[in-house]
Amino acid sequence: MTAKITRLNASQSDFNDALAKLLAWDDSVDHQVNESVRHILHEVKTRGDQAVLEFTEKFDRLKVGSVAELEMDQSRLQQALDAIPQDQRVALEKAAERIRDYHERQNQKSWQYEDEDGTVLGQKVTPLDRAGLYVPGGKAAYPSSVLMNAIPAKVAGVSEVVMVVPTPDGVVNDMVLASAAIAGVDRVFTVGGAQAVGALAYGTETIPAVDKIVGPGNIFVATAKREVFGVVGIDMIAGPSEILVISDGKTDPDWIAMDLFSQAEHDEQAQSILISPDAEFLDAVEASIKKLLPTMERADIIRTSMTDRAALIHVTDLKQAAEVSNRI
């Protein structure tokens, strides 16, 4: 089964309505998610470890006797680092080096001075005591999320970085654990979803409360972060993923198809949009999508995302492409 992608033309009379419908978010989904997340957070806040265990069994199909069993010690992280192929280890270490170099240049320092009347003025920059890092590990696992969140925290001087990552059915991603070892993550718990966010925000008997929660996740994770904001700091409310590409039609259509897949693979609710003044190019990209989709590891998720939320939009020229893009 191939993805049937919505085609729009900016010159059609009902384009504005069609575009609005494409971009609309189903409020009923939001309400259902909000109710579920609030229930989960309340349970974790009031019942601690026991609630975390129950939700982990329910959502990740992983049954253990205690949350302590869900913690991975430093030797396990090192084991993962030693186990991955050498070329992948070199790539992770090089990426970590570049990320660290960038953030060391960005790092803010405290400063003060005394003006002419003796008043001392300045700014004191104080690292957080503890940061929580959410790393996707269910439908998608991204070692880059570990490096790009844990390393800046360490550069800033955060005393302790606590990582949570779901392991559905007990399946562990060694690249994620290896990245944690390279980045210097202090503690790792194989917990995911809204229950992991709640545990980091409120603390449980085993999982410590943090000062700030960072990192991407699905709609349940994003909603949970929004709900706990104020109890803890958060980086942002991310998701569902989205990408918009403007092309003049001179790019390899396979490349554009893969660009669209890059976000569609994250989540069935992700949205991928291509805008081009070249109708034949849009046809070529659609053909590439049909050709390449069966080769993708996450083809089912991509197919649903592309069928339900994606669009190929034909415009008269690149100026109109920019106007449509700005509206989106």
- CATH number of 265's domain: 3.40.50.1980
Instruction: Find the mean pLDDT for residues 266-276.
Output: 91
Q: How far apart are CA 163 and CA 146, in angstroms?
A: 8
Kindly report the number of other CB atoms within 10 A of residue 83's CB atom: 12
Q: How far apart are CA 125 and CA 110, in angstroms?
A: 5
pLDDT band at 161 (very low <50, low <70, confident <90, very high): very high
Query: Of the candidates 259, 194, 183, 189, which has an alpha carbon nearest to the alpha carbon of residue 227?
Result: 194
Q: How far apart are CA 317 and CA 301, in angstroms?
A: 32
Residues 92 and 211 in one domain: yes
Query: Of the candidates 164, 173, 219, which has an alpha carbon nearest to the alpha carbon of residue 196?
Result: 164
Instruction: Find the mean pLDDT for residues 47-68.
Output: 96
177-210 pLDDT, tens per residue? 999 999 999 999 999 999 999 999 999 999 999 9
Q: How far apart are CA 153 and CA 96, in angstroms?
A: 13
Residues 152 and 256 in one domain: no
Instruction: Find the mean pLDDT for residues 112-139.
Output: 92
Q: Compute the radius of gyration of the chain from its Cα atoms.
A: 23
Q: Are 135 and 200 in contact (CB under 8 A)?
A: no
Residue 30 pLDDT > 90: no
Instruction: Find the mean pLDDT for residues 298-303.
Output: 93
**How far, in whole angstroms, is CA 314 from its chain's centroid?**
30
Residue 296 lies in a domain: yes
Residue 246 pLDDT > 90: yes
Residue 1 lies in a domain: no
Residues 204 and 63 in one domain: yes
Residue 327 burial by Cβ neighbours in a 10 Å radius (0-12, 13-18, 19+): exposed
Residue with tokens 């690292």: 127
List the domain range (segments joined by +) for residue 79: 51-105+125-234
Residues 82 and 167 in one domain: yes
Specify the number of domains making up the chain. Answer: 2
Q: Poorest-confidence range of 13-22, 108-117, 153-162, 263-272?
A: 263-272
Residue 276 lies in a domain: yes
Residues 16 and 59 in one domain: no
Q: H or E segment at 113?
A: strand 111-114
72 to 54, 58, 186, 289: CA distances (angstroms): 19, 21, 10, 40
pLDDT band at 28 (very low <50, low <70, confident <90, very high): low
Residue 239 is predicted with a pLDDT of 66
Residues 96 and 211 in one domain: yes
Residues 214 and 278 in one domain: no
218-230 pLDDT, tens per residue? 889 999 999 999 9
Residue 135 lies in a domain: yes
Residues 261 and 160 in one domain: no
Of 175, 204, 234, the last residue of a domain is 234
> What single-letter amino acid sits at 290?
K
Q: How far apart are CA 305 and CA 134, in angstroms?
A: 23
